[in-house]
């Protein structure tokens, strides 16, 4: 993306604050309406690099989110009619090792409406404002899986009762 294009998009992206997104009511469960999200784009976003090499692919930034995707649930989509550029995915992530069941994270991941490439995000975890925390990556990986397989109604592993 060229510098001049980004200057035009920045104000539009800044309107998608966590407060604004939390107040929205028209979230859709039909993720199949959004552009396909490629796992390679998620990896590039998390590594902040256009060409991930073999050593960087094994980093914490990729392995942790990929493992966390099993705890992601309630994935919904906000089309954002006021924007030609951005749409948002919202999801919740159950704690993977926490003992407090109320420690559910709320995650917003902003994607490009046309290409499906990640642009940013927000999470309620302690490092969620950094925009590349493991929970945001987990939601992006989960959304990529849903779009690739077409299975929207999956439960997370922590939602399933013991047998």
Q: Does 109 fall in a domain?
A: yes
pLDDT, tens digit, for every residue of 55-69?
665 665 677 788 888
Q: Does 1 fall in a domain?
A: no
Q: Does 47 fall in a domain?
A: yes
Domain interval for residue 132: 28-149
Q: Does 22 fall in a domain?
A: no
Output the pTM of the full model: 0.78
Number of domains in the chain: 1
* pLDDT of 8 higher than 70: no
What is residue 155's predicted lDDT score, i.e. its pLDDT? Answer: 53
Q: Does 106 fall in a domain?
A: yes
Q: Does 75 fall in a domain?
A: yes
Q: Does 21 fall in a domain?
A: no
What is residue 103's predicted lDDT score, i.e. its pLDDT? Answer: 81
> How would you classify the pairing of strands 86-93 and 105-112?
antiparallel
Q: What DSSP string runs through the chain?
A: --HHHHHHHHHHHHT--HHHHHH----BS-GGGSPPPPHHHHHHHHHT-SS--HHHHTSHHHHHHHHHGGGEEEEEEE--TT-SSEEEEEEEE--SS-S-TT--EEEEEEEETTT--EEEEEESSTTGGGS--HHHHHHHHHHHHHHHH----PPPTTTSPP-
pLDDT, tens digit, for every residue of 74-133?
999 998 887 888 999 999 988 766 556 678 889 999 999 989 999 889 998 887 777 778
Q: Does 137 fall in a domain?
A: yes
């Amino acid at each position: 993306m060229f510098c001049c294009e980004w200057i035009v998009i920045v104000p539009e992206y800044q309107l998608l604050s966590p407060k604004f997104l939390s107040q929205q009511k028209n979230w859709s469960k039909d993720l199949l309406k959004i552009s396909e999200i490629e796992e390679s784009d998620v990896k590039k976003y998390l590594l902040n690099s256009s060409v991930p090499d073999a050593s960087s692919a094994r980093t914490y930034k990729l392995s942790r989110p990929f493992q966390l995707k099993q705890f992601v649930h309630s994935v919904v989509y906000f089309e954002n009619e006021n924007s030609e550029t951005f749409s948002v995915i919202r999801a919740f992530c159950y704690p993977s090792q926490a003992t407090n069941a109320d420690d559910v994270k709320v995650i917003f991941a902003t994607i490009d409406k046309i290409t499906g490439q990640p642009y940013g995000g927000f999470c309620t975890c302690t490092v969620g404002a950094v925009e590349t925390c493991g929970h945001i990556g987990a939601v992006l990986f989960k959304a990529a899986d849903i779009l690739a397989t077409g299975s929207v109604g999956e439960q997370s592993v922590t939602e399933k009762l013991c047998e």
